[in-house]
Amino acid sequence: MNKGKVTLVSAGPGDLDLLTFRAAKAIAAADVLLIDDLVDDEIVTLKAPHARVIRVGKRGGCKSTPQAFIQRLMRRYALQGRHVVRVKGGEALLFGRAGEEIAELAQAGIAVDIVNGISSGFAAAAGLGVSLTHRDHCQGVIFVTAHLRDGTEPDWGALAATGMTLAIYMGASRIDSISGALRHTLAPDTPAAVVQWAGTAREKRVCATLGDIAARAAQAQIASPAVILIGNAIGESVANEAARSEPVRRMRA
């Protein structure tokens, strides 16, 4: 039997209107769909009638499907000659564990295609109306996870010292400790924002400063999935006090 293949599809931050045409075509051509928890449920409407759908949720703070089990499923179905489409929220190559999956499949001689998508960090910036790399404020942006594989945290002081915009993923549950660590290097009035469900109809965002972002996020009941944005470029989003003081929900057009 000929081997099948695996396509890693980046589904964007949520809503189907942020899915690329290439992603939609891959989903429609799938024999097996492995769908992440943060992907819009309506994505199954794009699948071929014969496709098998398997939900393999992975979400911080919730019960998750083990990564090793997901990789075994991908390998098993591909070796059966199936076209396996692994649908990931956001951008597959950014904190999506794509590297582990690619390595596993390469060892089995299984072909892998990658379809890029919109990461929640960019969707959060769009909702705030800011450029993460505004040249009046910074020379770049750093995308960083709030915790390493062994459970430790990054060197927040070193990251803060770069002067770059920080886009912090998977940090909603520890925003207090993160902001506290960053304040050892950055001023308390450094602009900050946290955006939950970025780019979706459920989007909720809070603009504040590094000194009070944790309290404001707690008051607004911001939780995972959320992206924390820190840096002077984020100050462009706080032009008026109303946006600073009250969370804003985006309505689907």
* pLDDT 10s digits, 36-77: 888 888 898 998 889 999 998 765 555 678 889 999 999 999
For the chain, what are the domain ranges?
A: 5-115, 120-249
249, 244, 207: which is closest to 228 by C-alpha? 207
CA–CA dist 102, 252 (Å, integer):
35
pTM of the entire structure?
0.87
Q: Which residues are designated catalytic?
A: 36, 58, 170
Architecture per CATH, 120-249 = 2-Layer Sandwich (3.30)
Count of alpha carbons within 13 angstroms of residue 46, beta-carbon side: 24
What DSSP line would sit under 185-201, residue for residue? TS-TTSEEEEEESTTST
| SS3 call for 53 | strand
**pLDDT at res. 240:** 38
CATH annotation of 5-115? 3.40.1010.10
Return the higher-pLDDT residue of 131 and 249. 131
Fold match flag (5-115 vs 120-249): no
pLDDT of residue 58: 60
Phi and psi torsions of 2, nearest 5°: -70, 145
pLDDT in tens, 156-209: 999 999 999 999 999 999 999 999 999 999 999 999 999 999 999 999 999 999
| Dist CA 222 CA 167 (whole Å) | 16
